[in-house]
Amino acid sequence: MHMTFIARAGALACALALAGCAGMGGNGSNPGDKAGMQMPGKTAADAAVAATWYNPPSEFPGICLTQFKDGSLRFDGGFAFYNPGRWSYDAATAELRLQLAPTPSLELSHAQIVQHMNLLRIEADKNTLVYGVKAGTTAIGLGGFVFYRDTPCPARRG
């Protein structure tokens, strides 16, 4: 009798532990996750936005990169040829992956990785740039431009 009770209690404890692990969801990368994907750092004011990166105007107009919680990303003010895009973040490796619209010059324009802040690697076959991004990361380099994190993008016109 005690052996049956111990076996059932053990099975129940194991089932509860597995159910708890299944519900943890990790970094929000599950497309069905209602909270959406998250980025480390500040929470955006817009509930649909996970993060913004902005290259302020200088020689060229400002360029905004917006990461949405549904995994999509959009460029405004420049780099529209990279639209539509997707993004994901792996908290375990602190890697931000930006999958951009197919562009023949993606690998060529980022070939000098050391010149692109926090760019770890290029996965040209997937049109993906992989960055090292942690909570304290303030900028990334993309296409020869520096994009500053959590800098508000100006309102889009039209």
Predicted confidence band of residue 125 (pLDDT cuts 50, 70, 90) = confident
pLDDT at 78 over 70: yes
Number of domains in the chain: 1
Q: Which domain holds residue 44?
A: 1-158
> Who contacts 116 (Cβ-Cβ below 8 Å, separation ≥6)?
110, 140, 141, 142, 144
- 116 or 2, higher pLDDT: 116
pLDDT value of residue 13? 37
The number of CA neighbours under 13 Å toward the Cβ of 20 is 6
